[in-house]
Amino acid sequence: MIEAFHIEALAHISPAWPVIIGGLIAAIIPNFTLRKALALAVPVMALVLWFNPAAPGTYGIIEFGGFTLETFRYDPLSRIWGLVFIIAAFINAIYGLHEKDRLADTMGMIYAGAGLGAVFAGDLLTLFFFWELTAISSVFLIWGARNNAAYKAGLRYLAIHILSGVLLLAGAVIRASETGSWAFDGTLTIETTGGFLIFLAFGIKCAFPFLHNWLQDAYPKATITGAVVLSAFTTKLAVYALARGYAGTEILIYIGAVMTAFPVFFAVAENDLRKVLAYSLNNQLGFMVVGVGVGTELALNGAAAHAFVHIIYKALLFMSMGAVLLRVGTVKASELGGLFKSMPATAVFCLIGAASISAFPLFSGFVAKALTLAAVAQEGHVLIWFVLIFASAGVLEHSGIKIPYFAFFAHDRGLRVREAPANMLIAMFLAAALCLWFGIFYGNLYEMLPFPEAALYYEPYTFDHIVGQMQLLLGAMFAFTLLVRFGLYPEEKRSENVDFDWIYRRFGDGALRWIWAMMDRLTAAIGNVINAVGRKLGGRMFQAFSPIGALSRDIPSGLLAIWTSALLAVVLLIAYLAP
């Protein structure tokens, strides 16, 4: 366990605040160097605050409008998530050093700070505040690409994330009205209306199946740095929220298993390598969600460890593709190949990220994923275990092989570009070093997990585990070489694969347009009927009341007397019957 030092004066300040305030200050700093220095400094300040608490507990309590807001809950679960968010913020700041975009600097910091704030939130109201802040700040990293596709994807992204926030708030309010509690802890349950709405809010951010398309839609359209930053916080915050509130909820096991499997197929067919990484991200989230669903100490350790190492190696992979995008101008697999000749360092870093996500021994994915798989098998979820093993081979396919192979090897397209800028290489180097560090010195990772005793009891580097994993990886790699050799591996081609988003982007959009058109017609038809009735009625009235109408003619006095008598009779009858 990392020993904490303690400065009493700082005890109640969440690591989120310096990062958010840094972002706000960056908004008014026109000087590029100062802004970048600030972006590097705030994660360091956050780290100091992360180290600071003397013991687990709830700090930074704010009384506001009759509510008690807990801004700094420091316990084993929030600790590890907080630390990796700080590491990610620092590495991302280095990666974005070349980028001259004040808005991106500002929003990148606020977004990272909001992620930290949400992780350290002790109650649902505080969580809601930071939850929405992550959505509002991060959308600028998509819009930062400054093109029409990114603008529209950003709008869709914002809409679904605001919806997530609204569901969270609605669920929290309903729950508070029923129980009087705003607690963000394990008392949440999907059995109640409030708890279910909150679960759904977390599910949107976690990219549950059918709620996932915002991820593959928005991330590949974000800026080069934006995609790296986005890959770290939102979805892992959702995994944290599920681990905090819904650990052991059985349905998560099945949701997670589906999440591990279906993105594999989409990733195979995808041409945009950043979109492949977005599908891959979805697949990795599945492993974590399964771990949360199993809910044992070992499984929760697995989810936490996986989230920790995943943030680093996924950022590394996004960074390498970002470097390619910067230098070549595209990450379409059909346009790439042979880039190791121009960008050898980027290629090596990408291979390290690929080896980590594929869980090669000595790389971080190996020691993290093993915990979840062991927990799933121990709890007797055999079918789910088989799905996860299938998905592990799938990970190797899309992130382990496809990404580095099609970008840096495969067919040399004659692309001769410069190596990535120095700041990008440094960021990738740091991430790659961490992938190896935690893969080799896994004890450093395990001792930070929510249940360190259970983790340290687990030994990942057994002979059986290494042999089994190498069989899996080599069997899959053999399949790849064989398929390529016999022309059975699909050629990369420029295309777009529609996903569930077709339902709302095409079918739903079409249906709404049809309904709108029909409403237009209906309104016109009703208008016509009203006009016709009006005209007819007007004609009749004219015939009756106009100067040449029926009532203007001389009426015999006898007839008028009869009508007057009848009217009088009616009045008398009413007067008689009235009580």
Q: What residue type is 292 in one-letter code?
A: V
Among 34, 251, 474, 544, binds other proteins (CB under 8 A): 474
Between 147 and 528, CB nearer to other proteins: 147
Secondary structure (DSSP) of 309-344: HHHHHHHHHHHHHHHHHHHHS--BGGG---GGGT-H
Among 10, 174, 440, 479, binds other proteins (CB under 8 A): 479
- What values do phi and psi take at 123, rounded to 5? -140, 165
Candidates 51-59, 127-135, 477-485, 555-563; binding stretch for other proteins (CB under 8 A)? 477-485
CB of residue 291 vs other proteins: minimum separation in angstroms?
15
Question: How far is residue 259 CA from its own chain's centroid?
Answer: 13
Number of residues that bind other proteins (CB under 8 A): 70
User: Which of positions 489-528 make contact with other proteins (CB under 8 A)?
Assistant: 489-490, 494-499, 505-506, 509, 513
CB of residue 505 vs other proteins: minimum separation in angstroms?
6
Among 190, 211, 389, 426, binds other proteins (CB under 8 A): 389
**Residue written as token pair 């777009």:** 496
Between 452 and 468, CB nearer to other proteins: 468
Among 378, 444, 552, 564, binds other proteins (CB under 8 A): 378
Contact 252, 379 (CB under 8 A): no
Among 10, 61, 480, 503, binds other proteins (CB under 8 A): 480
Rule CB under 8 A: say whether 363 interacts with other proteins: no
CB of residue 405 vs other proteins: minimum separation in angstroms?
11
Secondary structure (DSSP) of 529-568: HHHHHHHHHHHHHHHHHSTTSGGGS---HHHHHHHHHHHH
Rule CB under 8 A: say whether 148 interacts with other proteins: yes
Among 382, 422, 570, 572, binds other proteins (CB under 8 A): 382
Contact 19, 43 (CB under 8 A): yes
CB of residue 388 vs other proteins: minimum separation in angstroms?
11
CB of residue 516 vs other proteins: minimum separation in angstroms?
12
Strand partners, 68: 63
CB of residue 317 vs other proteins: minimum separation in angstroms?
18
User: Which of positions 65-104 make contact with other proteins (CB under 8 A)?
Assistant: none
Contact 77, 86 (CB under 8 A): no
Candidates 133-141, 163-171, 263-271, 525-533; binding stretch for other proteins (CB under 8 A)? 263-271
State the burial class of residue 534 (Cβ atoms within 10 Å of its Cβ: 0-12, 13-18, 19+): exposed
Between 84 and 424, CB nearer to other proteins: 424
Buried b (16+ CB within 10 A) or exposed e, 182-194: bbbeeebebebeb
Q: What residue type is 183 in one-letter code?
A: A
Contact 117, 16 (CB under 8 A): yes
Rule CB under 8 A: say whether 396 interacts with other proteins: yes
Structure tokens that stand for 516 in this block: 């709108």
Candidates 236-244, 248-256, 364-372, 389-397; binding stretch for other proteins (CB under 8 A)? 389-397
Among 34, 44, 483, 518, binds other proteins (CB under 8 A): 483
User: Which of positions 443-472 make contact with other proteins (CB under 8 A)?
Assistant: 463-464, 467-472
Between 475 and 549, CB nearer to other proteins: 475
Between 76 and 209, CB nearer to other proteins: 209
Among 170, 173, 345, 503, binds other proteins (CB under 8 A): 345
- Give long-range contacts, CB 8 A cutoff, 24+ apart: 341-346: 341/412, 341/416, 342/415, 342/416, 342/417, 342/418, 342/419, 343/408, 343/417, 343/419, 343/420, 344/419, 345/419, 345/420, 345/425, 345/428, 346/320, 346/408, 346/419, 346/420, 346/424, 346/425, 346/428
Between 101 and 499, CB nearer to other proteins: 499
Nearest-5° angle of CA 197, CA 203, CA 208? 140
CB of residue 403 vs other proteins: minimum separation in angstroms?
15
Among 478, 516, 545, 563, binds other proteins (CB under 8 A): 478
CB of residue 100 vs other proteins: minimum separation in angstroms?
26
User: Which of positions 411-430 make contact with other proteins (CB under 8 A)?
Assistant: 411-412, 414, 416, 419
Question: How far is residue 343 CA from its own chain's centroid?
Answer: 30
Cα distances (angstroms) measured from residue 310 to each of 13, 261, 442: 27, 17, 14
Among 475, 508, 534, 539, binds other proteins (CB under 8 A): 475
Between 90 and 262, CB nearer to other proteins: 262
- Give 269's contacts (C-beta < 8 A, 6+ positions apart): 490, 495, 497
Contact 46, 116 (CB under 8 A): yes
Rg (CA), the chain: 31
Cα distances (angstroms) measured from residue 394 to each of 69, 280, 304, 476, 500: 43, 9, 22, 9, 20
CB of residue 221 vs other proteins: minimum separation in angstroms?
9
Rule CB under 8 A: say whether 159 interacts with other proteins: no
CB of residue 101 vs other proteins: minimum separation in angstroms?
22
User: Which of positions 283-342 make contact with other proteins (CB under 8 A)?
Assistant: 338, 340-342
Can you give the binding site for other proteins, defined by CB under 8 A? 148-149, 152-153, 264-269, 338, 340-345, 374, 377-378, 382, 385-386, 389-390, 392-394, 396-397, 409, 411-412, 414, 416, 419, 463-464, 467-485, 488-490, 494-499, 505-506, 509, 513
